[in-house]
Amino acid sequence: MTTGSPVISADSHIQEPLELYEERLPKKYRHRTPRTMTDSDGAVYRVIDGKRPRRIEVIDALPRSAAGKVLRTVLGEQFAKP
């Protein structure tokens, strides 16, 4: 059934914009906020105070099956560490 209204899955997660904390918190707290850094090789990392930086892979679209489900195995293959 198509209603023309957007649907939000209760099981999905909504990711906040990467620059959210850097732009919205008072300046005196910004040095401790989660932030994005780009390495010299162009890799993007998410840095959170007190934690090891995590690399972020940005893709245009998720691989999906004919039924519309995300193909997690394909994602795993695309981003597997060599």
What confidence tens digit (pLDDT) does each residue in 35-77 have? 778 888 888 887 887 777 777 777 788 888 999 888 888 888 8
pTM, 2 dp: 0.41
Lookup result for tokens 């620059």: 19
| pLDDT for res 2 | 61
Sheet holding 54-56, edge to edge: 35-38, 44-47, 54-56
- Of 2-6, 15-19, 32-36, 52-56, where does mean pLDDT reach its minimum? 2-6
Whole-angstrom Cα distance, residue 45 to residue 34? Answer: 10
The two three-digit tokens of residue 69, written as one number? 């489900």
